[in-house]
Structure 1
Amino acid sequence: MDFSRYGAWTGLWPYAVLLIALGAWAVYHFLAPSNWREWAGAGLVEAFVIALYAEMYGFPLTIYLLMGLLPLDVPLVHSSGHLWATLLGYGQSGAIILTLISSVFIVAGLLLIVKGWVKVYFFGDKVVTEGVYGVVRHPQYLGVILVVLGQLMDWPTIPTLVLAPVIIWLYIDLARREEQALVERFGSKYLAYRRRVPMIIPDWKRLRQA
C-alpha cells in the first residue's frame, strides 16, 4: 500500500490533536468520575474519542484494513470515512444525510450530559428529580450512549465499533449499581422516583419539557 496516497488525509493531524484534547477535557469535566468504575467508563469514552478522531483526521486505519482484506476500491479521500455511505454506494449525498441524522443523536446526547451535570452540580447531595432527571434517571449516561451511537452512524471505525457495546454495557451496569446505593441512602424517596421515571429509555412526552 502506498502510504503517500494518504498525504491529504494525514495532513489533518492538528485537528485530531485538538479534538482529542477537547474530548478529554469534556469527558473528565462533565462525567466527573469519582470511583474506579466511573473512571473505567470515562477512560473507555476517551479511548473511543481517540480512536474516532485519530482516524477521522489522522490515518484511516479502518479503510486501509478493509481494502487489504476485502476486494474493495474505496477512494482515498476524506469523505470516504463516512463508511456506511461509502460501502453502500450512497456517495456524498448519502454521507450528508447520515451526518445530519447522526448530528441529532450527538447534539441530544451532549445536551443531556451537560444538563445532567448542571443539575447535579447545583443541587449537590440531593436526589435530583427535576429537568432532565424528570425524563430519565441517568441523563448523562443516556447522553454518552446517544453520542456514541451518533458517531457510529456518521464515522464508524473498527476500534469504535468494538468499544461501543462495551461502553453501553458498562454505563448501564454503572447505573444499576448507583441505584442500589441510592436506594440504601434515600430509601422510599428514591424508590418512588424510580417507579415514576425510566432509567435509560426516556419518557418522550416529558422530554420537550426538560
Structure 2
Amino acid sequence: MQGESSYGLWTLVILNSAIFIFFAFSFVKPKTRTDWRSLGAFSGFIIALFTEMYGFPLTIYFLSGWLAEQYPGIDFLSHESGHLLDTLLGLEGDAHFSILHIASNALIIMGFFILSSSWAVLHKAQQAGAMASDGWYARCRHPQYLAFIIIMFGFLLQWPTIPTLVMFPILVVVYVRLARTEEKKALAEFGEQYRQYQRKTPAFIPRLSQPSMQAGST
C-alpha cells in the first residue's frame, strides 16, 4: 500500500537468516578452521541481504533521490518495489514471478544441491582417508565454494543491494584464497596424485561431462 513501509520486520530478518545459514551449516558440517571461515563469509552475506530485504532498506534510502526522479509515483518502501533490478529493467507484473526471480530461485536451489552432493562425496572420502573422486569433485576441484558463489549470485538477481554487491566480489576472492590454502594442504598430503588432478580438473568452472575416474579436493 502507498506510503506504508514493508520494512522494520526484524523477526523475518532473523528467521530467514537463520534458515539459510542452518541449511548451509547442515550441508557443509564445518570441522576445520577453513570450513568455519567459508560458512562465516556466506553467513555475513545472508544477514546483510535479509537485513535490507525486511529490516532497513539502506540501498533504497541511499538512492532515494535518484529513484524518485527516475520513477515518480513508485513507492519504493513497499516490498514489491524493493526488487530494484526488475524496476530498473522495466519488468512489469508481480516481481515474484518475473524471469529474474525464477532464475534466482533456480540458482539458489542448484547451489544448495551442489553443496549437499559435494559434501556427501567429501565426507565419504575423508572417512576412508582418501581424496574425493566422485560426483561434483570429478567435475571441478572446489564444488562447495562454487555452490556458495552460485547461491549468492542467485540472491543478487532477486534482491541486489549496495552492501551485497560490494560483498560479492570480495567473498569470491575469499573463496579463491581458501581454495588455494586447501590445495596446498592437499598437495602436502597426496603429492603427485593431486598434481595430476590439478592438471586435469578445473578449479571452479565445472566440466559438463563427468570423467569415469577422477580425484578431488575440498
TM-score if structure 2 supplies the norm length? 0.82
- Structure 1 distance, partners of 2:122, 2:186, is 14
* Partner SS for 2:160: coil
Higher helix share: 1
Q: Does 1:77 align with 2:78?
A: yes
Tell me how many residue pairs correspond in the alignment.
202
Q: 1:178 aligns with which of 155, 173, 182?
A: 182
- Structure 1 distance, partners of 2:53, 2:35, is 27
Quote how far apart the aligned CAs of 1:11 are: 6.1
- Structure 1 distance, partners of 2:65, 2:93, is 23
Q: Percent identity?
A: 38
The answer for the alignment partner of 1:115 in structure 2 is 117
Farther off after superposition, 104-113 or 88-97: 88-97
- Structure 1 distance, partners of 2:95, 2:22, is 32
CA RMSD of aligned residues (A): 2.3
The answer for the alignment partner of 2:196 in structure 1 is 192
Q: 1:106 aligns with which of 108, 111, 120?
A: 108
Quote how far apart the aligned CAs of 1:146 are: 0.5
Runs of 5+ unmatched residues, structure 2: 212-218
Letter matched to residue 117 of structure 1: W
Q: Is the 8 A contact 2:4 2:78 kept in 1?
A: no
Correspondence 1:8-47 to 2 at 5 A: 9-10=6-7, 12-47=9-44
Quote how far apart the aligned CAs of 1:106 are: 1.4
Q: Is the 8 A contact 1:116 1:133 kept in 2?
A: yes
Q: Is the 8 A contact 1:82 1:155 kept in 2?
A: yes
- Structure 2 distance, partners of 1:92, 1:169, is 36
